[in-house]
Amino acid sequence: MDAEMNRRIERLEFLHKVAIELSAEKNMDRLVEIILDKAKHLCHADAGTLYLRTDDDHLRFAIMRTSSLQIELGGTTGKRINLPPIPLFDSQTDTPNHHNIATYSALEKKSINIPNAYSHQGFDFSGTKSFDLRNGYRSTSFLCIPLVNYQNHVVGVLQLINATNPHTGEVVPFTEDLQEFVETLAYQAAIALDNNLLLDEQKQLMESFIKLLAAAIDAKSPYTGGHCERVPVITELLAKAACDCETGPLAEFDMDDADWYQLRIAAWMHDCGKVTTPVHVMDKATKLETIYDRIHLVRTRFEIIKRDLEIAMLRELHAQPAQKTALETRLAEEIAKLDDDFEFLERANTGGEYLAPEIQERIREIGMRRFRENGIERFLLSEEEIGNLCIAKGTLTPEERLIINGHMVQTIRMLEALPWPRNLSEVPEIAGGHHEKMDGSGYPKGLYAGDMSIPARIMAIADVFEALTAQDRPYKKGKTLSETMRIMGFMKRDNHLDPDLFNLFVSSGVYRVYGEKYLPEELIDAVDEATLLAIEPQAFSAPPKEERDKRRRDFLPQYRF
């Protein structure tokens, strides 16, 4: 009696330890492995299988073990189980599948204990016997237990085969008291599995929502939509390279599964604030574009001037018929000058890297020409149109650039408003820092390198690289790898990008791995990596910690809108 009591106490202590282990495990592959291994150990079972129920009512093989045959499939082994899922219902008649012991256990929510499969009548063991014949094995005793969660829903089935006498190794039936303990373990396992499945479903819901938001940005602007998809790719490539570093300043950097999940969420969400940015600003292809390109209005004004000149010439011709040739020649010269001026404005309307002062002065001169519209004398170009056409770089005015930059404020506000769980608490910082610069000259907070996490600095590099190489922007062409890396080399020199991470970006070949997969062949050219790695960042001094802390807390005033 004392021996029996001691065995029960030992088993209860065993179940207690298993319960703690199950509740702590978050990885599904390791979890199913723990459940099966502990159940086998409890019963001294030689073999076992754990099935998980699928959404379409099948039992999927999650893990298989047969100790005497040294078979280990599924779980953390990385070896796939090449067996089809077992249907709970007949696909033709929709009747319950009561022929298979595992499906019967799941459907009836009952434990099935079979002392000898070869003499048992009622279940189809043909597949088991075929396995035995191929492998020189004999599957004798079976214990099948459904894994039922707190909602009385079967999430899986635990099947054990061939209980053995621990002293003799003889195959024996599963005893009732062992069945009782395994059922207790199965209940604990069902709770742990259900919790993990719920967490996985929540993750899938979160990721689906995030990708839905990216799709919404895509629908609003196809240019930024592609950006939202590609930046996570570059971010993960560079983060993986950083984790692989064994020497240098990044040797201590590493990421666990939770860190990777957080980084992926942040990368997908990094531009979510663009949902608030007006499309005509975000996708502004020319300097005069708002809802439409106003260069067409300017063309109309030129046509009005041409019309008025022609009318004036005809009136003079009527008064002085002998001057026909001179008048027609003068009109042709004036119209040719107008055509030249308009073509000049068309070229100026296209954004570029630099607009010379003399070009800006000619724009102003053309704009000051007068014409009459509806009886009112007007300037050919308004002050606002002249200001747009004189934009020295790109297509955005300072006010429009502030609106574009403001998407980061909206991104941070949106992300900080969400009740992130602890494992995702750094998402706003990582996603909100990709326009910051190492010397504090970035936006929206003007952070310094030491006040930013490594993942945030990784995203800054990914964002710049994607923007420079992107093929789908209406206001510029994608740059070659050499052009892109040369520009980023300047940004390293000027302390706009983290120099250590940029050096890794170069030396690891991440830029080329991405380019060969996502860029057209004509943009993939030779890059002078040695020159890029030799660039030394300019020295700069950061302000006191108190000021830097304030920048981390507050948005700069000009972005409050």
Helix H or strand E segment including 172: strand 171-172
Which pLDDT band holds residue 403 (cuts at 50, 70, 90)? low
pTM of the full structure: 0.66
Range among 21-30, 32-41, 200-209 with highest mean pLDDT value: 32-41
Domain limits, CATH 1.10.3210.10, in the chain? 221-282+399-559
pLDDT of 250 reads: 94
Task: Domain 11-200: give its CATH code.
Answer: 3.30.450.40
What's the confidence (pLDDT) of residue 43?
86
Token pair 């303990």: residue: 181
- In this predicted structure, the answer to whether residue 450 has a pLDDT above a threshold of 50 is yes
pLDDT at 188 over 90: no
Confidence check: pLDDT of 490 > 80: yes
SS3 assignment, position 348: helix
Domain span(s) for CATH 3.30.450.40 in the chain = 11-200
281 confidence band (pLDDT: 50, 70, 90)? low
The pLDDT value recorded for residue 558 is 45
- CATH of 221-282+399-559, picked from 1.10.3210.10, 3.40.50.300, 1.10.10.10, 3.40.50.970, is 1.10.3210.10
Interatomic CA distance for residues 242 and 255, integer angstroms? 9
According to DSSP, the β-strands at 58-66 and 71-74 are antiparallel
Mean pLDDT of the residues in the chain:
86
pLDDT digits (tens, 9 = 90+) for 331-366: 999 999 999 999 999 888 887 777 888 989 999 999
Which residue is associated with the tokens 């939770």? 258
- Which amino acid belongs to residue 316? E
| 396-401 mean pLDDT | 71
Token pair in block for residue 15: 């179940």
Kindly state the average pLDDT of the residues 492-505. Answer: 94
Residue 533 has pLDDT above 80, yes or no: yes
Query: In the structure, what pLDDT confidence band is assigned to residue 556 with cuts at 50, 70 and 90?
Result: very low
- Determine what percent of the chain is predicted with pLDDT higher than 70: 90
CA distance 342 to 365: 12
User: 3-class SS at 50?
Assistant: strand
Cβ atoms of 465 and 513 closer than 8 Å: no
C-alpha separations of 410 from 276, 402, 417 in Å? 8, 12, 10
Flag whether pLDDT at 432 surpasses 80: yes
* pLDDT given for residue 219 in this prediction: 67
Q: Is the pLDDT of residue 292 over 80?
A: no
Are the C-beta atoms of 144 and 125 separated by less than 8 Å? no
DSSP 92: T
How many whole angstroms separate alpha carbon 485 and alpha carbon 97?
62
Instruction: Determine phi and psi for 372, rounding to 5 degrees.
Output: -105, 135
Most confident of 234-238, 373-377, 551-555: 234-238
- Contact present, 462 and 231 (Cβ < 8 Å): yes
Burial 98-131 (b: 16+ CB within 10 A, else e): eebbbbbbbbeeebbbbeebeeeeebebeebeeb
Pairing of strands 58-66, 45-53: antiparallel
> Which two structure tokens, joined as six digits, stand for 545?
């910690």
Say whether 169 sits in a helix, a strand or coil: coil
Identify which has the larger pLDDT, 19 or 429. 429
pLDDT of res. 196: 86
Could you tell me the end-to-end alpha-carbon distance of the chain, in angstroms, rounded to an integer? 79
Residue 224, pLDDT > 60, answer no
